[in-house]
Amino acid sequence: MNSRFFSRLARQNLRKNARSYGPFLLASVLTVGMFFIILALAVSPSLQSMTGAVTIQVVIRYGVVVVGLFAVIFLFYTNSFLIKRRKREFGLFNVLGLEKRHLARVIAFETLYTALASVGLGLVLGVALTKLLLLVVAKLLGVAAPTGFFAGPRLLLVVIGVTAAIFAAIFLLIFLYSIRQVYVARPVELLQAEHAGEREPRAKWLLALIGAGCLGAGYYIAVTTTDVIQAMFLFFVAVVLVIIGTYLLFTAGSVALLKLLKKNKRYYYKTRHFTAVSGMMYRMKQNAVGLANICILSTMVLVMVSGTSCLMLGMDTSLHERYPYDVNISRSDPATIEMVKMAVADADIPPEAEVEYDYLTYAAYSVPGGLEVTTDYALSTESSLADVMVIDLDDYNRCTGQSMTLGPDEILLKVERTDYAGGTLELLGRTYTVKAQVEPMVKYGNLTANLTSTWYIVVSDREELAHIDAAMAESRGVSESERYQYDGSYQMYRFYGFDVPGHDEQTALNARLAIRAAWTKASEDESVDLSGTYECRAWERQDFVSLYGSLFFLGMFLGLLFTMAAILIIYYKQMSEGRDDRERFQIMQKVGMSRLEVKRTIHAQVLIVFFLPLVTAGVHTAFAFPIINRVLSLFNLVGTDFYLWCVLGSFGLFAALYAVVYALTARTYYKLVSM
């Protein structure tokens, strides 16, 4: 037998199995196209020329890694569905005279044709859509769309070559896995592969308990973690625990639950319950991993889409939290503030909503009952690091419009990113009584950008502020002459913020230029201390747009990819279960059940099993809500209402899509059952 015979047989096999291979080929083409697109965007010179290019391409290059890993797992997993369905066919070929080495050649040609079609069509799709996606990114980032193609001929060939090489390696792995399945099985095992494992599944109680423990631990971490830094790191621990728990509960816990229902004779020995429980028990055994995969993919879609949507839609809120005024200035030498006012006046820009106050800022540890000042920082105590800002009562009342009063040892307190319920506060060897935890507090954007908790403290008067300043200098070993030289962790500053008329961005940028010119001129005098920061909201806006826009694009891109994967797994599950249930359908009619009763029983089984991953994904997302909300607070998204609406909206849209997919794939299922 020559190669023509095997290649012709491979083509015939693909045509005969078009219903199975068609969706796999479509998914492969889309996966190749999406990998090409995100790789092209990651290296595109057009994207590099945009404002905020560094941030954009760091985020997109992370997406390249995610899509690449996903492609390996997804294509490998979905191909296993096809091999399982075709083992009987391979066994028949083996019985008719084809040796296993001949089958390997047939599989090689089938894999080659699938790979060529997938990579070829995927690259065409990627090249066709990359320019469109580049325009979408430019629109999201609010920048001018780049002209011309996304890359030159040489770079285009590099992207095509890398994409083709990666997917050639993936299909080689698929081929090796496929021939291994054929070589290790005897012909009779291949012929009976579709019906292997029809014995009643055993309940694996230990695995079920471990799964419940992992899921409970993941939920506990997500709900109880209140520290923002801990939330950022423990989130991934919770994700791993929930994934492990999901797989174990779907594979072992579901069978254990059905076993308990079977032991309940009053429940089990009823026509409707008897057939439903028995059918679901076998379905869970065969398809639990697929259901778990759908659940995990659905959860990932919900978390990514809701989180990145919340960031993008709440970007202006975050921007105003970080930069509360159009122009924000912090200076260690109060005289330079007067220089700013003169520069703005000379530029004929009338400042509005002016705010000015002195404050002391330093780093500390939050400890039970107070704050401990130390320079002995350690990574193990990173979660207790705190940024402290101290102002006096007069400045607080003037800036916030309040009329609070304080005794000598009393303070007002506001704590962000952690909780403090103590009635007193130990600080620099002194015990202060917390008169109230107040809202509002003076606006100061620099501290909102930090990962650590922030403690705003209002003391009774300027003398108390000076006392804390002196105590800080002593604890740091700072001499009087060095008191106002910034050392990175302790400094007395003056803040000056103002808005421009109408919040006009161009006017704010003109004010920034005027201030910068004045300080450039002042820098010629070495006696002038210009240490500090000055920030313009209009100038910083593009950095926010670059980060949030690229995260939103990546979230939608990966959400689409994972949704496609979930749909394909659902389709193959319906096909697989349809073939299995066809025989059960016929047997149940032979033993006396009406066609309507049988159809209702099978429909109930499919409906429960089909929507179980969606419901579980919703539960996962609900328990993940508190910890993700904490992580989003790092982006200055404060409060839960906005993120809650994003989660509900994402779940509603995904559930609607899920129902449509169910309706479409159920038609294929019922056709198979009725054949």
Contact in structure between 424 and 491 (CB atoms under 8 Å)? no
pLDDT at site 639: 63
Which residues have a Cβ under 8 Å from the Cβ of 522 and sit 6 or more positions away? Answer: 336, 339, 528, 530
Say whether pLDDT at 197 is over 60.
no
- Cα 445 to Cα 456: distance, rounded to the nearest angstrom: 12
Half-sphere exposure of 636 (CA within 13 A, CB side): 22
Rounded to 10 deg, the angle between the 271-313 and 315-322 helix axes is 50
Taken as a whole, the chain contains a residue count of 675
- Cα 396 to Cα 460: distance, rounded to the nearest angstrom: 10
Contact in structure between 33 and 129 (CB atoms under 8 Å)? yes
For 103-140, give the DSSP string: HHHHHHHHHHHHHHHHHHHHHHHHHHHHHHHHHHHHHH
Number of CB atoms found within 10 A of residue 458's CB: 29
pLDDT in tens, 347-390: 999 999 999 999 998 888 888 888 887 655 554 445 578 889 99
Q: How far is CA 211 from CA 12, 240, 244, 252, 531, in A?
A: 44, 12, 7, 8, 56
pLDDT in tens, 223-246: 888 777 777 778 888 888 998 888
Written as one letter, the residue type at 543 is D
Residue 605's pLDDT band, with cuts at 50, 70 and 90, is low
Pick the range with the lowest mean pLDDT from 276-280, 442-446, 536-540.
276-280
- Cα 374 to Cα 392: distance, rounded to the nearest angstrom: 23
Pick the range with the lowest mean pLDDT from 29-38, 44-53, 126-135.
44-53
pTM: 0.76
pLDDT at site 553: 82
Q: Which position has the token pair 């941030």?
A: 55
> Measuring CA to CA, which residue among 90, 259, 71, 238 is closest to residue 167?
71
Half-sphere exposure of 81 (CA within 13 A, CB side): 23
Say whether pLDDT at 414 is over 80.
yes
Backbone angles phi, psi at 464, to 5 degrees: -65, -35
Q: How far is CA 388 from CA 323, 426, 633, in A?
A: 19, 13, 18
pLDDT at site 499: 93
For 275-330, give the DSSP string: HHHHHHHHHHHHHHHHHHHHHHHHHHHHHHHHHHHHHHHTHHHHHHHHS-SSEEEE
Q: Which whole number is the average pLDDT over 601-627?
A: 81
pLDDT in tens, 95-117: 666 676 777 788 888 888 889 99
Q: Which whole number is the average pLDDT over 172-196?
A: 67
Written as one letter, the residue type at 421 is A
Contact in structure between 219 and 242 (CB atoms under 8 Å)? yes
pLDDT at site 561: 82
> Which two structure tokens, joined as six digits, stand for 586?
């016929």
Sign of the CA dihedral with 148 first, then 151, 153, and 154 last? positive
> Measuring CA to CA, which residue among 630, 624, 669 is closest to residue 650?
624
- In the 8-state DSSP scheme, what is residue 664? H
> Measuring CA to CA, which residue among 337, 339, 359 is closest to residue 497?
337
Q: How far is CA 120 from CA 28, 108, 115, in A?
A: 11, 18, 8
Number of CB atoms found within 10 A of residue 500's CB: 25
Q: Which whole number is the average pLDDT over 142-165?
A: 74
